């Protein structure tokens, strides 16, 4: 005899319980994955919009950028902080001063304030001296051997440096 594809054997559960569907656990994991990927995509989109959507301000670059090292050789309290603060507000179309290093010389006192041009450009150093209320003749040229901070000038504050020059220059600029 030919058998048809259908089976006549029907197995019935003897315990009366329905088998628990595993579909619920799998769908919960799937939903969590979709929510996680959706949140990650939203966050990435938000960051990209924040970066690309901001308005950038176009500024004119100064003619001369001075990478300055300030050396306190006069031993006065807080002079490095005052001079650094003053120099950070000194930027305009002619010069932009970036203080890249500050040094305090504890053992040695220097009598005269000096500006040392490390790249050989005395005219920019003389301009800085005028801005600080100093005589432009104090500029000397001496390159650094290991200039890993790319210092273009060094300002050595001697005992003759008068902080009142900074205050007077601030009032004149205002």
| Three-class DSSP category at 1 | coil
Question: Do 168 and 131 sit in the same domain of this protein?
Answer: yes
Residue of 39 and 7 predicted with greater confidence? 39
Q: Is residue 92 part of a domain?
A: yes
Question: Do 168 and 105 sit in the same domain of this protein?
Answer: yes
Question: Do 39 and 88 sit in the same domain of this protein?
Answer: no
Question: Do 72 and 40 sit in the same domain of this protein?
Answer: no
Q: Is residue 4 part of a domain?
A: no
Q: Are 70 and 157 in contact (CB under 8 A)?
A: yes
pLDDT on residue 173: 54
Domain termination residue (choose one: 38, 57, 76): 57
Residue 65 predicted with pLDDT over 60: yes
Question: Do 90 and 28 sit in the same domain of this protein?
Answer: no
Residue 92 predicted with pLDDT over 60: yes
Question: Do 95 and 150 sit in the same domain of this protein?
Answer: yes
Residue 171 predicted with pLDDT over 80: no
Structural domain count, the chain: 2
Pair type for strands 95-104 and 139-141:
unpaired
Among the ranges 44-58, 68-82, 155-169, which has the highest mean pLDDT value?
68-82
Q: Are 129 and 153 in contact (CB under 8 A)?
A: no
Contacts of 92 (CB under 8 A, 6+ apart): 62
Question: Do 72 and 26 sit in the same domain of this protein?
Answer: no
pLDDT on residue 168: 45
């Amino acid at each position: 005899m030919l058998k048809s594809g259908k089976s006549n054997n029907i197995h019935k559960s003897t315990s009366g319980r329905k088998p628990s569907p595993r579909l619920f656990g799998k769908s919960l994991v799937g939903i969590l994955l979709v929510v996680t990927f959706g949140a990650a995509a939203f966050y990435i989109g938000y960051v990209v919009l924040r970066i690309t959507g901001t308005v950038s301000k176009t500024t004119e670059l100064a003619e001369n950028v001075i990478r300055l090292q300030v050396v306190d050789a006069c031993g006065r309290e807080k002079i490095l902080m005052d001079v650094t603060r003053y120099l950070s507000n000194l930027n305009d179309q002619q010069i932009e001063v970036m203080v890249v290093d500050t040094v305090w010389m504890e053992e040695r006192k220097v009598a005269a304030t000096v500006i040392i041009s490390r790249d050989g450009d005395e005219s920019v150093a003389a301009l800085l001296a005028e801005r600080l209320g100093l005589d432009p003749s104090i500029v000397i040229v001496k390159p650094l051997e290991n200039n890993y901070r790319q210092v273009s000038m060094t300002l050595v504050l001697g005992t003759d440096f008068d902080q009142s020059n900074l205050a007077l220059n601030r009032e004149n600029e205002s």
